[in-house]
Amino acid sequence: MAASYELKASARDRVGKGAARTLRREGLLPAVIYGDKKPALPITIPVKETTLTLHKGGFLTHIGVIDVDGEKHQVIAKDYQLHPVRDDILHVDFLRVSKGATLTVEIPVHFLNEEDCPGLKKGGVLNIVRHTVEMTVPADSIPEALELDLIKAQLGDSLHISEINVPKGCEPTITDRDFTIATIAAPAGLKDTDDDAEADEAEGESEGE
């Protein structure tokens, strides 16, 4: 199971807002490693390296290694908190990942061939219902993204999870329905024109009667 990043860390024995503020002044972040039927481990990690790792993308879907005072823990980031104004990272929760484990993660959806989509060429709008899909996946083969091809999508089409080639071993957590990922919505002007045409047609039929 290859790791995409590694962060140096130290165990911490102080918790609370005051201790967290002190850490941040020292260029460190409070974090915690939990899961795998082991006690939670409060740690500190460097602000700069953690921020760079976050901004590379895939922070919540990539396996990483946290080196805590020489002991390495294989983890995946499950959550992080940002400052409400400055967007500075404030805290990270890491989940331990054991060999052969399965994880529940949010996988981003990428849309292919938008420029060649028939419905969009006619002025339609891509209405994204789900930017991500929650899936159960093997820890050693987490997909980077799900790909939905728009090459045949027409105005008014609804595009569902069944139209995505889901990687082997991965399964959406929603299993009771073929849920919608996106729709190709008609633009407001076109919709009004269609409605007017239908109204004129209905009026003509009425007069004919």
Instruction: Pick the last residue of a domain from 99, 133, 155.
Output: 99
Supply the range of the domain harboring residue 112. 104-193
Q: Is residue 40 part of a domain?
A: yes
Question: Nearest 5°: CA angle at 93, between 91 and 99?
Answer: 150
What φ, ψ does residue 137 adopt, rounded to 5°? -140, 155
Our count of domains for the chain comes to 2
Outline where DSSP puts E strands in 47-138. Answer: 63-68, 71-82, 89-96, 102-112, 125-128, 132-138
Identity (one letter) of the amino acid at 52? L
pTM above threshold 0.85: no
Asked if 24 and 108 sit in the same domain, the reply is no
More confident residue, 36 or 115: 115
Cα gap 86→90, rounded to integer Å? 10
Cβ proximity of 155 and 119 under 8 Å: yes
Q: Is residue 202 part of a domain?
A: no
Cα gap 109→146, rounded to integer Å? 5
Asked if 90 and 125 sit in the same domain, the reply is no
Q: Tens digit of pLDDT for each residue in 30-84? A: 999 999 889 999 999 999 999 999 999 889 999 999 999 999 999 999 999 998 8
Q: What is the pLDDT of residue 24?
A: 80
Asked if 163 and 83 sit in the same domain, the reply is no
Q: Tens digit of pLDDT for each residue in 15-32? A: 666 777 778 888 899 999
Q: Is residue 208 part of a domain?
A: no
pLDDT confidence of 86, banded at 50, 70, 90?
A: confident
Whether 200 shows a pLDDT value over 60: the answer reads: no
